[in-house]
Amino acid sequence: MTQLRSPQLAEIHAAAFRDSRAWTEREFDNLLTSPHCFYVGDSQGFALGRVVAGETELLTLAVLPQAQGIGHGRSLLRQYHETALSRGAESSFLEVAATNTPAIKLYLSDGYSKVACRKNYYTKLDGTLADALILTKARL
Residues catalogued as catalytic:
95, 107
- C-alpha distances (whole Å) from 35 to each of 16, 30, 49, 50, 76 are 26, 11, 11, 8, 20
CB neighbours of 87 closer than 8 A, spacing ≥ 6? 38, 51, 56
For residue 138, the 8-state DSSP code is S
